[in-house]
A and B are shown apart, each in its own frame.
Chain A
Amino acid sequence: MNKNTENQFDAIIVGAGVVGCSIARELSRFKVRIAVLEKESDVGWGSSCRNSGVIHAGFNNQPGTLMAKYCEEGNQLFHSIAQELDVLFKKTGKLVVAKNNSEIAGLKKLKKQGERNGVKNLDIIDEQEIRKLEPNVRGVAALLSPETAITSPYLYTIALAENALKNGVHFYLNTEVENIEKKSSGEFVLKTQNKQFITDYLINSTGVYCDKIARMAGIDRYRIYPCRGEYYVLDKNASSLMNHLIYPVPHIEEGGLGIHLTPTVDGNVLIGPSNEYIDTNKRNNYAVTMEVLSKLCKEAQKFLPAISPKYFIRNYAGIRSKQTPPSQGGYRDYVIEESEEVPNMINLIGIESPGLTAAYPIAKEVVAMIDKKEKLSTNPDFNPYRKGILRFEEQDEETKRKLVEQDPDYGEVICRCEQVTKREILQAIDNPLGARSLISIKYRSRAMMGRCQGGYCQTRIMELLKEKYNYKWDDFLLRGSESYMLTGNRSNGEPAL
């Protein structure tokens, strides 16, 4: 492949979620000129940062489906990818808990299904064994899945993107595709607000917008029904209440896995998600609702009576890109295909749960599809390794002492709740992708994610931005363009420089 002018690419990936970034990274193993176009100001701001962060084992999906196949493969792959990319990954294991005897049949069914999918080490345990593993959890029996793991979904996406960037992939943030034209030469012309892109291959990994992008290219057979899931985030103090992921027995017709309790790699606990189809015209409606928030707490208490609102520190919502309409519910298998009517466009449709787990196998599949046609040549400079930001808080005392000796910025704790130092925040600000919203800094450093939610450190981080980058009032953005945190300088005061 041989594109080389500034706006010409061999392959363009639209959408920098976990799937798009996985494809970018995997494709950068080859000599391909690649661009990723993302409408938001950072990678992973759609469903990739709004889920439970679970690396599923693969027993929830119907045998023979792509969902089942990629989920099981993704679970097995994850450990080595996480090591290459320096991403947190904890094999905590999961319990699917039957609240009463009538649900035990469901556990057996899941176990059987999992075994058909190739999931290892599944076991059904009784009430006593539940108590041993999880003294605070109530249930009569449970399916124990030791292979189920957790990661940080946004840090994983960032890691994939940073590694892809290092291997030559071009990232265009704040770049929303407005129009797609297929020229007679076979090339695609993508129009965005400021720029035009030309590419031979077009990969549609736009999650909840995948049907819209396909339609721009003239493919009208996909339909996405956005389905929202709301979550609560619990204080780290709640992490002592449980060790495993705690799930109810899923009711397949609901199209979700049921409201569950998930520990995060950072030590918080998530409750959620709910399952609500929303207006297909408002696919960025990430609002949480009064009704669901109160339901989340009650559902969680059924398994873990010790859960209480005193642990709540935040809430959020994510949106599943479901192919099944509300009237039908349930799941429809992933569609990963090059359409006959538009050659060289690969559409990834309905990549909902277990999308985080399946992302990498999906990427491998997409690359294989291109390789089959193009016989790609290996990129000899490909470097699979990427380093994340070293977390001061997680180091032992001796290491902490040495770090401060090496760099005094490690001695300045900016975020007290999460013990994030100035050094880490500066690294987060200077991230390779150049994303400088407060949320970008937050995801990368964990500052502002603790129990005070930035009450202490937010103004200090703003001060750092002002000192280092001479930020004016209108440079401070919370979540990308136009999300101004301030409305001006104070009228009578010394002008804020």
Chain B
Amino acid sequence: MINKDVVIIGGGAAGLAAAVACRDKGIEDILIIERESALGGILKQCIHDGFGLIKFQHSYTGPEYAQKYVDQVEKQEIAYLLDSMVIDITSQKVLTVVNKSGLKKYKAKSIILAMGCRERTRGAIGIPGTRPTGIYTAGVAQNLINIHNYMIGKEVVILGSGDIGLIMARRLMLEGATIKMVLELLPYGSGLPRNFNQCLSDFDIPLYLNHTVVDIKGNKRVEAITMAEVDHNGKVILSTCQEVPCDTLLLSVGLIPENELSKMAGIQLDSLTGGALVDEYGQSTVKGIFACGNVLQVHDIVDNVSLEAEHIACGVEKYLSSFLKPKNDIAIEIGEGLRYVLPQRIQYLDDTVFSFRVKKPGKKKQIVFKNDNRIIKEKSFIRVNPAEMIRIKLTSSELSDIKHLKVELN
């Protein structure tokens, strides 16, 4: 058994930022465990720009953004394992790790979960039809094109308007493919507004809202899909079915926090976020186990992942020095118009950043924090969009004498 102060599972955006922030706080004994053969996580394949505008006031590509943190990890000599998989984790914070050199056990004082998320698949959403080749999730397509230099299709239909789907529409277009259309089940787009402009509008790629795929044809390779309109309940209007010849169907239909290890550790999950139920320091229901990044909540931009990870590091440092003493235990109530709120509970009443997403787009909205009927904070927005994560900080003085906390959108 090898003892460690902090073990970080995952060397992607969240894990790297958490590691660097922990070291900055003076924590010496850190180990990052990464299953791939290089640090950087999914950023490695995100070769488009737009990363770092908040954090560095500069637009980097994904690999550039990751490298800034990798350089810090190297410079500060933070230990990491590559090609290493955590295959077991207990609530006592014992981790079983396997790699080529063997199977080892680690006992951590604290663990940071930073495993990221996975893509929702065809099987999960049950798209009918045959099962030919040529159906890819956007992330797999991105990996094949950007990392492996392969082309995955010529005539492409994209289902779902998540950001990776939009990015891949442009990417495939630039590589010579035809993007026939992007179909979105909802009455509004799922990705960031800037991606609709830069990836679809600028390339004249049509977007069909309230549309979905109801059939896939082809036995070897995809030959066509059938698109159809859906009504306001999301029910398919059969009379609108229309066959679209294509050889590829790309899916960008959502991301799911990858919490299989969290479950093994006995951590309680929030069904709204798919991630751990945490306090204001990202500490889960198992003391000493923290979570940040996409394993906690699916983020819109990587800068917010870094910020979240840095904040979690404060909690880890306090936990290790036994300064993390609950003053209270207040479950946050989610009011009208919000899909979820993080953290789900607050216990220390220190400065706290709340993050959430709205249920649907809107204009001239306020986010209101209430202690019973007393408004303790209010923030106005010209427009709100489910694609964008909202982060609002409440100071310890604002939280000082609350008994109850409700957040709502008005």
Contact = CB atoms under 8 A, between A and B. Distances in A.
B144 to A, nearest CB: 6
Contacts of B143: 459
Interface stretch (B58-66, B68-76, B120-128, B346-354): B120-128
A182 to B, nearest CB: 32
B133 A478 contact: yes
B121 A455 contact: yes
B184 to A, nearest CB: 18
Contacts of A494: 149
A484 B221 contact: yes
B148 A496 contact: yes
B152 A491 contact: no
A47 to B, nearest CB: 15
A408 B144 CA distance: 27
Contact of A408 (B85, B100, B145, B175): B100
A288 B129 contact: yes
Contacts of B247: 487
B219 A284 contact: yes
Interface residues of A, number: 61
B53 interface: no
A250 B148 CA distance: 51
A126 interface: no
Nearest to B236: A290
B37 to A, nearest CB: 10
A315 B216 CA distance: 13
Nearest to A493: B149
Contacts of A485: 133-134, 152
* Size bracket, chain B contacts: 35 or more
B133 A483 contact: yes
Nearest to B154: A487
Interface string A378-422: 000000000000000000010011001100111111001101000
A451 B340 CA distance: 24
B276 to A, nearest CB: 16
A293 B126 contact: yes
Interface string B185-204: 00000000000000000000
Interface string A262-291: 000000000000000000000011111110
A479 interface: yes
Contact of A490 (B35, B83, B121, B151): B151
B126 A397 contact: no
B99 interface: yes
Contacts of A404: 98, 100, 102-103
A122 to B, nearest CB: 36
B150 A412 contact: no
B137 interface: yes
A312 B123 contact: yes
B149 A495 contact: yes
Contacts of B215: 287, 290
Interface in B318-338: none
A309 B123 CA distance: 10
B128 A313 contact: no
Contacts of B220: 479-484
B130 A286 contact: yes
Interface in B178-230: 214-217, 219-221
Interface string A225-242: 000000011000000000
Contact of B148 (A408, A419, A453, A462): A462
Contacts of A128: none
B96 A287 contact: no
B121 A489 contact: no
Given A411-B101, A486-B151, A492-B175, A397 B96 contact: yes
A93 interface: no
B126 A315 contact: yes
A243 interface: no
A417 B214 CA distance: 28
Nearest to A454: B140
Contacts of B154: 487
Nearest to A492: B175
B87 interface: yes
A401 B85 contact: no
B35 A416 contact: yes
Interface in B78-103: 83, 85, 87, 96, 98-103
Contacts of B123: 233, 312-315, 453
A453 B85 CA distance: 18
B128 A287 contact: yes
Given A459-B147, A459-B148, A312 B101 contact: no
Contact of B150 (A451, A488, A492): A488
A409 B175 CA distance: 36
B144 A459 contact: yes
Nearest to B102: A404
A452 interface: yes
Nearest to A401: B103
Interface on chain B toward A: helix, strand, loop, or mixed SS? mixed
Contacts of A287: 128-130, 215-217
B148 A491 contact: no
Contacts of B131: 286, 316, 479
A491 B118 contact: no
A11 to B, nearest CB: 31
B139 interface: yes
A479 B137 CA distance: 18
Contacts of B122: 314, 453
B11 interface: no
A313 B147 CA distance: 26
Given A284-B219, A458-B140, A495-B149, A397 B214 contact: no
Contacts of A478: 132-133
A486 B130 CA distance: 18
Nearest to A438: B133
A222 interface: no
A463 interface: yes
A457 to B, nearest CB: 10
B151 A455 contact: no
B5 interface: no
Given A284-B219, A290-B128, A400 B103 contact: yes
B221 A482 contact: yes
B153 interface: yes
A111 to B, nearest CB: 36
A313 to B, nearest CB: 5
A409 B176 CA distance: 38
A452 B221 contact: no
A443 interface: no
B129 A491 contact: no
A319 to B, nearest CB: 13
B243 interface: no
A473 interface: yes
Contacts of A397: 96, 103
A492 B217 CA distance: 31
A491 B176 contact: yes
Given A419-B87, A478-B133, A412 B149 contact: no
B149 A489 contact: yes
Contacts of A489: 149-151
B28 interface: no
A313 B124 contact: yes
B116 to A, nearest CB: 10
Name the residue in B83, B85, B96, B128 with the highest tally of chain A Cβ atoms < 10 Å from its Cβ. B128
A235 to B, nearest CB: 9
B119 interface: yes
Contacts of B145: 490
14 contacts: A286-B130, A287-B216, A314-B122, A455-B119, A459-B143, A462-B144, A478-B133, A482-B220, A486-B144, A487-B153, A487-B247, A489-B151, A490-B175, A496-B148
Given A401-B103, A419-B85, A481-B220, 13 more contacts: A287-B130, A312-B123, A409-B100, A416-B85, A417-B260, A452-B121, A455-B121, A483-B220, A486-B151, A487-B153, A489-B150, A490-B175, A496-B150
Q: Which 9 A-B pairs have the closest CB atoms?
A: A314-B123, A478-B133, A493-B149, A408-B100, A413-B85, A483-B220, A496-B149, A411-B100, A453-B121
